[in-house]
Amino acid sequence: MLLPFDPTASSALVEELDDWAKRLDERIVPHRWEGRLRRSLEAEAVAASTSLEGVAVTADDALRILAGDPPDSVPAADQALVRGYRDAMTFVQRRADDGALAWNRELLVGVQDRVAAGDRRMGAGRLRTRAAWVTRARTGEVVFEPPDAEAVPELVDRIGATVESADWHPAVAAAWVHVAVAAVHPFQDGNGRTARVLASLAMYRGGFRHPAFTSLEEWWGRNPDSYYRAFDCLGARFALETDVTPFVTIHVEAQVQQARELALRQQADGLLWTALENLLDDIGLPLRLANALYDLFYDRGVTARYYRSLADTSPATARNDLALLAAAGLAMAEGRTRGRHYDRGPELHGRLGTLLGVAPDGGAIARELLRRAPG
């Protein structure tokens, strides 16, 4: 077998993951807020994935880029990579339950083409035709030597055939395809992002569609040392018989850890959303403004264009809505006309604190929400 592993090494973790899937599927969350959770997780995943590849885009930047309101500070090329990653994830989400979808060379190349935003300079949609090396960013030291370019087409076909025929748990399949694509390094650029998107596809295809399971990008972004250490099992150069059990186990364990954390976050953020709607109801403002207050609570600036994409309003309504927040002291306008954005206003923490019976402080409010979140 190509890159063999011991599937029993992660059996207990797989059982725990299945238990989390059942528990999360049974939870009831505010419907209007659930879409915001998905947007936030998508932006965090994009930012983490691009940062692992050396592209400095924050989650806040990604949120605005994906909403069609890119910050001027983000170069156009980086914006294209953010949109490319989103397009790749949208592609695998859309195709995951398609019975005609097959794990093959065409699929892998198609995902990389989207990840690379169709940029031919990055070898978009083509297998590499020259040697490749994996280097340490800070020192330039070569840490891994993938197979020769001549071997890549056959190895890509073997990766597809292996996943297509295997009867593995989705989390195990996700881990294996991740390490296999990274090890073969079949593309000129975008190998890591492509491997991680394909891992997400394996989870989607296996029925794990809850946001807690569909992408490990944000987890790896917060734990980059663990991510890079997981690849140590590959050694210094590619070999067909390399045992990748350590990587598979670490990957499945990361899935479990992320499920635990996001389960708690889902509950706490759901309570926050409900509190924001209650606050708006108390002062007679439209509940759709929770879309803006949610970002403001986390100290993310909000523009009228960005808010429009969240609340699905007209430009005039968006401007009027945000002006109402400012008049209530929940937001503060900064800048003029086209450059105007809104920051958190002086009354937001105070009103939320009163509503929840805690100090008017963001940290105190967050701790109270976590305390109230069901286990």
One-letter amino acid at 340 equals R
205, 256: one domain: yes
Domain end: 261, 294, 328, which one?
A: 261
Higher pLDDT residue, 246 or 223? 246
What is the residue whose two structure tokens read 């992002």?
193
The mean pLDDT value for 185-214 works out to 91
The DSSP letter of residue 145 is: B
Indicate if the pLDDT at residue 234 is higher than 80. Answer: yes
Domain end: 245, 261, 277, which one?
A: 261
pLDDT for 28: 55
123, 16: one domain: yes
pLDDT for 30: 57
Structural domain tally of the chain?
2
222, 363: one domain: no
pLDDT for 44: 86
Identify whether 1 is part of a domain.
no
- pLDDT per residue over 273-293, tens digit each? 999 999 999 999 999 999 999
Identify whether 2 is part of a domain.
no
Q: What percent of the chain has pLDDT over 70?
A: 96
Q: Tell me, what CATH number does 232's domain have?
A: 1.10.3290.10
Q: List CB contacts of 68: < 8 A, sequence separation 6 or more.
A: 305, 309
162, 257: one domain: yes
209, 341: one domain: no
Please give the residue range of the domain that contains residue 358.
Answer: 263-372
Q: What percent of the chain has pLDDT over 90?
A: 65
187, 250: one domain: yes
* Least confidently predicted of 36-45, 121-130, 215-224, 238-247: 36-45
Band the pLDDT of 356: cuts 50, 70, 90. very high
252, 302: one domain: no
- pLDDT per residue over 149-188, tens digit each? 999 999 999 999 999 999 999 999 999 999 999 999 999 9
Backbone angles phi, psi at 334, to 5 degrees: -130, 135
156, 268: one domain: no
In which element (H, E) is residue 144 found? strand 142-144
239, 319: one domain: no
Domain end: 233, 261, 289, which one?
A: 261
One-letter amino acid at 331 equals A
271, 251: one domain: no
For strands 341-344 and 331-334, give the pairing: antiparallel
Q: Tell me, what CATH number does 291's domain have?
A: 1.10.10.10
249, 284: one domain: no
pLDDT for 178: 98
Own/partner contacts of 30-36, CB < 8 Å, gap of 24 or more, are: 30/270, 30/273, 30/274, 30/277, 32/273, 32/277, 32/287, 32/290, 33/269, 33/270, 33/273, 33/274, 33/290, 33/294, 36/273, 36/291, 36/294, 36/310
Q: How many CA atoms lie within 13 A of 55 on its CB side?
A: 25
